[in-house]
Amino acid sequence: MSTETTQNKLKAGLVGFGMIVDETYRPFFESVHETGLYQRATGPIEVSLDAVATRTGSRAEKYLEERGEKVGGFESYAGDNAIEEMAAAGLNFACVASPDDRHFDSCKKLLEAGTHLIVEKPSVLKLQELDELVALAEKNNVTAKVVYHKLFDPDHKKLRTLVYDDVLQHVNNGYCSLLEPKAISGKQFAQWITGRNPGTYVAVHYIKLIDFTFGGKLKTLTASGQRGLVGDKDGPTWDSCQLRMVYEYESGREAAFDIHTSWVTPDNFPGYVEQEVQFRFDNGLWNGHSRKRGVECTVEDKTPFEIKNSMNNHFNGTFVEPWNERSQRGYGIEVIEQFAREVAQIEFGGPESERQQRLEQIRSLSYNDLSADRQTVATVQALEAILEKHAQGEPDCVVRVNDDKGGLVLYRPGSTEAEVLYEGTV
Ligand SMILES: NC(=O)c1ccc[n+]([C@@H]2O[C@H](COP(=O)([O-])OP(=O)(O)OC[C@H]3O[C@@H](n4cnc5c(N)ncnc54)[C@H](O)[C@@H]3O)[C@@H](O)[C@H]2O)c1
């Protein structure tokens, strides 16, 4: 067991400095800078944000100027070689929070530099990319993890606990929906929205929730979508989409799940980000609704824009604690802190000679390890392929998983021809 010394320090880097950084990574780094991390096996650990890599550097440098002392200052890297420069800074771990379709390159460079990695959801968009990252993490003796903060939502933890304990038995089917306001597609993501869809962006939370909570083998994927608001009605950019996943369990019985997402809901709708799930079991029913469990608040001239009508105080809220300290906390921040604890455990949780065992133990955590993200990435890859075919004038394709032609195989209606999206076993 290591002793309490000031050498126990983790140097961190961050790729991207946008909306999610503001909601979760920034508050995490500010709070950990102040308090450090403590676990009995590691003793106190200092965590510092040493490097930030972004496209232009503007938001990161503005923060550095205005509040940089909150994280102890960092080096800002921008432009084409930002990731390489950051990766060369000798970091222990890095968080990748750039747009969905730009995760892979950054992750690869960071893992190549021997940096522990955590990437925002969706981790990557193709199983081929996932394979490469998992192999690199293995080769360089580091972890590669993904953030699915909804697994830390107390309601979802309770659902999983009831399933895990066999209180809720065999899921038959279910639906989930997640509605984002127009401002997300129209303003927030305007710079990278072309060719994107809200399913990859947010359905992925529920894809993972279903995959992680219920287990089973993914069999079939279908999807549809609508266009015409964010982009052209015949173009590649989607307003909303509907995904269906079919799973088979050890008993040979199946379940189907529908996930509906949109990022064109009117900006003033009271739900703001509205999330709903319903799962039907042999012996029960689970209904979860972000507004029903939450609060509704109106403040003249402030809601729903500056303050949300139905705020999710469980995800990430700013508070005055009962002892009058200000804080920002919630499961969105906890999930990053937990990753930092896992890295600390690997590096400082015992003698160097046992590092490999600790690394393997942390890799075996299937809630966040990239090696356990296969069925989720397969679903995202299939969804993207089906929507792409739809945009090319061939709607209603079906993707089958692990059939005799390959791991992920796309079929067009009325055609016997198959397109193999991924050869290996999912
Ligand atoms: N977990 C959640 O609930 C949640 C919510 C929002 C976003 N996200 C995820 O976080 C990621 C970022 O989303 P966001 O909302 O912060 O987006 P954003 O558009 O607000 O910010 C993106 C950031 O990435 C930077 N960037 C863009 N291209 C880059 C590149 N090639 N290299 C380095 N930096 C680059 C930009 O400069 C910007 O700082 C996405 O993967 C998204 O799916 C997760």
**Residue 16 alpha carbon to ligand 1 centre in Å:** 6
Q: Distances in Å between the alpha carbon of 203 and those of 70, 112, 269?
A: 34, 30, 20
**Residue 355 alpha carbon to ligand 1 centre in Å:** 32
Q: What is the largest CA-CA distance in the chain?
A: 68
Which helix H or strand E contains 279, and what residues bound it?
strand 274-281
Which helix H or strand E contains 245, and what residues bound it?
strand 240-248
d(CA 398, CA 402): 13
Which helix H or strand E contains 390, and what residues bound it?
helix 374-391
Task: List the residue whose alpha carbon is closest to atom 36 of ligand 1.
Answer: 16
């729903």: which residue's tokens?
A: 304
- Tell me the DSSP string of 25-52: IHHHHHHHHHH-EEETTTEEEEEEEEEE
CB 416 within 8 A of CB 123: no
Q: Distances in Å between the alpha carbon of 19 and those of 97, 98, 273?
A: 9, 10, 14
**Residue 327 alpha carbon to ligand 1 centre in Å:** 24
Neighbours of 42 (CB within 10 A): 22
d(CA 164, CA 376): 20
d(CA 96, CA 93): 10
- Spell out the per-residue pLDDT of the chain, length 426, in tens: 544 445 699 999 999 999 999 999 999 999 999 999 999 999 999 999 999 999 999 999 999 999 999 999 999 999 999 999 999 999 999 999 999 889 999 999 999 999 999 999 999 999 999 999 999 999 999 999 999 999 999 999 999 999 999 999 999 999 999 999 999 998 888 888 999 999 999 999 999 999 999 999 999 999 999 999 999 999 999 999 999 999 999 999 999 999 999 999 999 887 778 899 999 999 999 999 988 888 888 899 998 888 888 888 999 899 999 999 999 999 999 999 999 999 999 999 999 999 999 999 999 999 999 999 999 999 999 999 999 999 999 999 999 999 999 999 999 999 989 999 999 999
**Residue 262 alpha carbon to ligand 1 centre in Å:** 18
> b/e for 304-328, b at 16 or more Cβ within 10 A?
beeebbbbbebbbeeeeeeeeeeeb
Confidence at residue 4, expressed as pLDDT on a 0 to 100 scale: 46
Q: Return the CATH number of the domain spanning residue range 154-313.
A: 3.30.360.10
Task: List the residue whose alpha carbon is closest to atom 18 of ligand 1.
Answer: 18
**Residue 98 alpha carbon to ligand 1 centre in Å:** 4
Residues near ligand 1 (Cβ within 6 A): 15-21, 53-56, 59, 82, 97-100, 102, 106, 120-121, 147, 149, 188-189, 201
**Residue 102 alpha carbon to ligand 1 centre in Å:** 9
**Residue 339 alpha carbon to ligand 1 centre in Å:** 19
**Residue 21 alpha carbon to ligand 1 centre in Å:** 8
**Residue 321 alpha carbon to ligand 1 centre in Å:** 30
d(CA 100, CA 184): 14
Confidence at residue 90, expressed as pLDDT on a 0 to 100 scale: 94
**Cis omega before residue 236 (within 30°)?**
no
Nearest CA among 100, 54, 61 for reference residue 80: 54
């990278």: which residue's tokens?
A: 192
Pocket probe mutation, ligand 1, options 17, 22, 55, max atoms within 8 Å of Cβ:
55
Q: Return the CATH number of the domain spanning residue range 9-149+325-363.
A: 3.40.50.720
CB 409 within 8 A of CB 418: yes
């690394």: which residue's tokens?
A: 359
Task: List the residue whose alpha carbon is closest to atom 5 of ligand 1.
Answer: 20
Q: Taking the CA atoms of the chain, what radius of gyration do you get in angstroms?
A: 22
């529908």: which residue's tokens?
A: 258
Pocket probe mutation, ligand 1, options 101, 120, 124, max atoms within 8 Å of Cβ:
120
Task: List the residue whose alpha carbon is closest to atom 33 of ligand 1.
Answer: 54
Beta bridge partners of 262: 179, 240
CB 381 within 8 A of CB 223: no
Task: List the residue whose alpha carbon is closest to atom 11 of ligand 1.
Answer: 97
**Residue 120 alpha carbon to ligand 1 centre in Å:** 8
Pocket probe mutation, ligand 1, options 17, 19, 21, max atoms within 8 Å of Cβ:
19
Task: For the chain, give every domain's residue range.
Answer: 9-149+325-363, 154-313, 375-422
Residues 6+ apart with CB under 8 A from 296: 270, 309, 310
Q: Among the atoms of ligand 1, which is closest to the Cα of residue 55? A: 37
Q: Among the atoms of ligand 1, which is closest to the Cα of residue 315? A: 3
Residues 6+ apart with CB under 8 A from 5: 43
Confidence at residue 7, expressed as pLDDT on a 0 to 100 scale: 64
Confidence at residue 295, expressed as pLDDT on a 0 to 100 scale: 86
Give the predicted TM-score (pTM) of the model: 0.94
